[in-house]
Structure 1
């Protein structure tokens, strides 16, 4: 019995010792970490010219630090304005491999955004400072080594909206964000809209029609700028405009649409003008008499506009999909699709009226709206 008691005592003593050791090991301790003493790349005072490529990047690299418990540290690259001290840095980014690497691959897109946060205007050069923060648990160490980097931003935007809308009291869309008019995406980073603007009131371009969108406006030189508060644009006159917004070059082009008329190719003239109804739609009615030729009656037509983008000039709207046939009841909607033509001609890019239009007063609508293909319709009354 005494021998059994001794064995039990020894066993309990060992058990307490093992549990105690495991308990001590499982108690997490925040180990101290040293600060980064050497920054490798990029070299001090390097100038980086931002490229529009989505894959363009700059590699930031530094020495590894020592940790009290011989574990691994985590790293962040921090940026600030020149003259600041990183107490409230402009931007923080964990290093590669979820913060475990002593290097960070930072895209030009992000660098352009940081420069913008520092107040560097598109197409200009500004200076930033950067350093590295090492951490282990709640313990952090900010490097005392600081490097300068000059960023030459894009003339345009790197972070380009996927959609764009027109809003504001000075636009026909009004102030209700949900009623904002959509732009048409015509090329990567390029948008356009046909809309009426009213002088004396302001308007903006926004990247969505709900929530809290990014907002943009153009200054007096038609430079596209992101609005930090409530900056807006204002037109010099009331009128209907083709508004072209290019985020690649940070520019806005304004072309006033003064008239839009039915161009009848056989007569080489505008028969009558359409009136602007609103939201990118023109409509009008008038007599159309086909022209008698030796081979039959000529029914070819398109549209002609008088516009002003600094001076009055003439442009046309013609068929997007070339045709030399009249439409039928089986013709696809694409038969009526419209494209903008800078150089007017008498015969090119025309459509043909159906026979029922001859001698009648059809209603014609030209529909230039951002959420659908530009098109038109002909209704025989």
Structure 2
């Protein structure tokens, strides 16, 4: 049997965005720009794959700045490209944060080992986000208003959740200064916000303070220079069979909540139901909300003494539901006084501990 490459045509027409379109990027994680082009033809009638490629103006795309597959895992003749990706393209093209500049783009169609680049090229004018050119690898919170106090050596670490993105659960004291730093020494870079929205770098003490003492989830994105504060009012044990919070877990400090109560499994016709997760009451931008923490790793079994620690790992859930992303209590918990700790600290996996008293 002889293998013959399948011929494929180049994409002849690029539909969206129009040539020389100007786009001002915004920091929303859902913001995107729609790209669309004419379909390519394949000799055997099969479906082609597509890549959108970017380059500096005048480049030949042999070493593109950035490339990504189209929608539907590369089979669609369109793509929604997020503003965050376009901001990365702008940075690679040498466009400074907050400034405008041109890049060019085209589409490569492929089938098997054959790849054909479109001869049509379009320009895109991008006004980039005011992100940081040099993104720190680590971030801490320090100062007398923080839980670690004024000594940099005791600064509490943020957890890196994605490239350039960090978060921390911590208490801030009203009227006392705090600051974000990238290391625990005197050479640390300092970051601050004066509106709890935009993240900035400081050259001297920024004297940042919070108006209200509270426990906060602080989310920072250096890619787009934003910061978000969410106050955590309560954290409780959500018992799925009862569809409610059984008891609250008061905050103990430094990202740890702990509470004690009795959990009675619910008797059903098929057995006892012991499913649970955690529920938060939060405030952000003056709006109250309900959020849930659940299993990072899907599970449908009860734990035992030999269960891997990853069984208890935690993630913030995208939606509030009764049953999704739950854990199951061990047999020994049923009807017993039980202490539960939720540990949301930046230098380890988010997790929780269940102890029968």
TM-score range with shorter-chain normalisation? Answer: 0.5 to 0.7
Question: Hey, which of these two has a bigger chunk of helix by percent?
Answer: 1
The answer for the alignment partner of 2:135 in structure 1 is 160
RMSD over aligned Cα, in angstroms?
2.6
Structure 1 residues 280 and 209, CA, compared in 2 at 3 Å: closer, same or farther?
A: same
Contact between 2:249 and 2:258, CA under 8 Å: does it hold in 1?
Answer: yes
The answer for the alignment partner of 1:269 in structure 2 is 244
The answer for the alignment partner of 2:231 in structure 1 is 256
Counterpart check, 1:299 vs 2:274: yes
Taking the aligned partners of 2:343 and 2:135, their CA distance within structure 1 comes to: 27
The unaligned stretches of length 5 or more in structure 2 are 1-23, 26-53, 58-89, 101-125
Aligned residues: 250
TM-score scaled by structure 2?
0.65
Contact between 2:196 and 2:228, CA under 8 Å: does it hold in 1?
Answer: no
State the 1:296 CA deviation. Answer: 1.1
Taking the aligned partners of 1:108 and 1:186, their CA distance within structure 2 comes to: 21
The answer for the alignment partner of 2:330 in structure 1 is 354
Structure 1 residues 208 and 110, CA, compared in 2 at 3 Å: closer, same or farther?
A: farther
State the 1:170 CA deviation. Answer: 1.2
Which contiguous aligned blocks of 4+ residues in structure 1 show a shift greater than 3 angstroms?
A: 55-58, 107-112, 151-154
Q: Which has the larger radius of gyration?
A: 1
State the 1:232 CA deviation. Answer: 3.5
State the 1:333 CA deviation. Answer: 0.5
* Within-5 A mapping of 1:92-103: none
Taking the aligned partners of 2:55 and 2:189, their CA distance within structure 1 comes to: 24
Structure 1 residues 221 and 277, CA, compared in 2 at 3 Å: closer, same or farther?
A: closer
Structure 1 residues 316 and 179, CA, compared in 2 at 3 Å: closer, same or farther?
A: same
Taking the aligned partners of 1:252 and 1:217, their CA distance within structure 2 comes to: 9
Contact between 2:160 and 2:166, CA under 8 Å: does it hold in 1?
Answer: yes
Contact between 1:56 and 1:108, CA under 8 Å: does it hold in 2?
Answer: no
Match of 1:372 among 340, 348, 351: 348
State the 1:370 CA deviation. Answer: 0.4
Counterpart check, 1:240 vs 2:229: no
